Structure 1
């Protein structure tokens, strides 16, 4: 398959596929003309990477997960450890986003949204939080 075909098959942009090749996540063959020749195994790796990235795994986590996926002697505990670490990061982000939402909700509630120049939202954003 050429890059257009594998892009269509995997749903990944050609630019992303080239990037994954540049950083060594996939290594397609090269024909005599220098064009990439993707095998089914490359498409499987790209699908795997696309799904992992869609779940928010970092490139380094993807590299580790891909290596574990290819290692038939892997321990599932190693895979679980990576996934648990990522899940903890997602939970931290959710906590941070919830706090941001609560703060912004309070600022919006405090603002009358009228023609007066006084604005609790701007005042709240201007606070430094320094004592």
Structure 2
């Protein structure tokens, strides 16, 4: 998905502000993904230069941990990017800012902090069954 243009004519001030928040968060998340990709590639390249035996090399376990940690951060950032894309889609369809659980409006303060939020504070506090 390409970054949206917040300057489209016909958008209400509220929708324009939401779109700008989502676009800014999306751009920051893309930058974080790019940085994490570079960091991950650097770890892999550094390990390729030496024969690392994680089981017997004292540095091997910390390297494996570092690689796993960066991979987890990368997965989390990619998931956040997908959530932002879904939020942009909800904005376009007119469902942005409504709780997906109870249908009530999500407070603007929550959306300012968590632009991709899908639930109101009350519903977010309810433990989900898996």
Q: Normalising TM by the smaller chain, what interval? A: 0.3 to 0.5
Higher relative contact order (CA 8 A, sep 6+): 2
TM-score normalised by the chain length of structure 1: 0.34
In terms of Rg, which structure is larger?
1
